[in-house]
Structure 1
Amino acid sequence: MDNSIPVVSKIFCSGTPTMLMIRRRPIVVNGGGFVVTDLSHNVVFVVDGCGILGSKGELMVKDGEGEPILSISKKGGIVQALSTRNKWNGYLMDYQGKDKLVFSLTDPKSCIAQSAPIRIHIEPKMHCKNWDFEIGGSFADRDCTIVDCTRKIVAQMGRKELMGGKDFYHVEVQSGYDQAFIIGVMAILDNIHGESTRC
C-alpha cells in the first residue's frame, strides 16, 4: 500500500526515513543558496537564492541534475504590505516551464504576530481544515520540526556538531513525505532568517 504524500512529485517520496545534508554555499557567492546531499555525498537538490536569480524574494529548487522543479516567490503588493504576515508561494515547474501553485507558507512579520506559528497550506487542499503543516522550534538554532495537522512529525532539522557552524546541518524527512517540498520550506526559512539565499 502506497501511503506517500507528494506535494511536488511522488518521485521525491521515499519508503524509508531519509537524512539530507544541507551545506551553504561559500560566503563569496552572495545570496547563492545551498546544496543538499544524501549520506553518500550525492547531490540531491540545489537551491538558488537571489544572488544567482537576480531578484529578491525569488528562490529556485533544482533536482540533482540541475533541472528546476520548484519556483518560490514572496508575495508582494498593497494587500501584502498591510498584512501582519508574509506569504510565500511554491510553484511546480513542468517541462514546458509553466507554473502551478502547490503550496503557500505564511510567516509573522511584526512583533505583534511574532508568536503566531508558521503554517503551510497545500494546493489542492489536503484532508486538513485550516492548515496542512506547521513549523515549530528555531531555524536559527538549527532545531526545528515540521508537523502535519495531526501533529505527526514530517521532518526534523538538526546541526551536525562535528562539522561546526551553521553552514552545515541536516534534515531528516520521514517516510512517505516529499523531500523536494521539505527543501523548499527550508529555502524559505533560510531566506526569512537572512541567511544563504538572501542578498
Structure 2
Amino acid sequence: MTKPPTRIQTRNRAAILSAGLDVFSQFGFRGATLDQIADAAGLSKPNLLYYFPSKESIHTALLERLLDTWLDPLKALDGTGDPVQEIIAYAQRKLTLSRDYPRESRLWANEILQGAPRIEDTLRTDLKTLVDEKAAIIKAWANDGKIADVDPHHLIFSIWAFTQHYADFDVQVRAVLGEKAPYDGASVFLDTLYAKLLQP
C-alpha cells in the first residue's frame, strides 16, 4: 500500500505546480526551464526532481488539472433552460474563468499556439465531443425559432475569443483601459452583445 504524502510533500508539490503555472504561462513550454520553476517554488532543482522527473511532467500535470476546469462552463449549458439566458450564462462563466484563472488561460493558449503537442488527443476527443453535443442543442434552438439562426460552433468560438482575450491579452487590455475595471465593462457588453445577436 502506498503511503499518503506527508504535509511537506503536499506543500512542496503544490508549490512546484504553482511555480510551474507562473513560469509556463509567462514563457511557454519551450521558454521555461526547470531552474526557473525551482527558483519560483523556493526549492533546489534536485528537490524539484524528486517530485517531478522532468519539465514535461510538470506541464502535463498542470494541463490535466486544468482540463476539467476549462470544460465545466460548457458542460453546464442546459438544453432545457431558456436558450438566450443559457448561452449568455455560459459566456459569463467563461469570462469569470478568465478573471479568476488568468495564468491557466495563458498556459492553455501557449499550448495551443505550439500546436497542442501534449493535449491534441484530448482536443480531438473530450473537447470535440462536448462542443458537438452543445452545438447540437444550440442548433435545435435555432431550428425551433427560439434564437437567431447562428452557426453554433462559430458562436462557441466567438465566446472563447471574447472571454479569453481578457486573460491572454491582459497587459494590452489594461494599457488601453488604464484604471478601469476591465471585467465589469466586459460583463455588461457581453450581455448586450449576445442578447441582440441571439434575438430570433
Q: TM bucket by the smaller chain?
A: under 0.3
Q: By percentage of residues, which structure has more strand?
A: 1
Which of these two proteins has the greater Rg computed from alpha carbons? Answer: 2
Q: Which has the higher helix share?
A: 2
Q: TM-score, normalised by structure 1?
A: 0.22
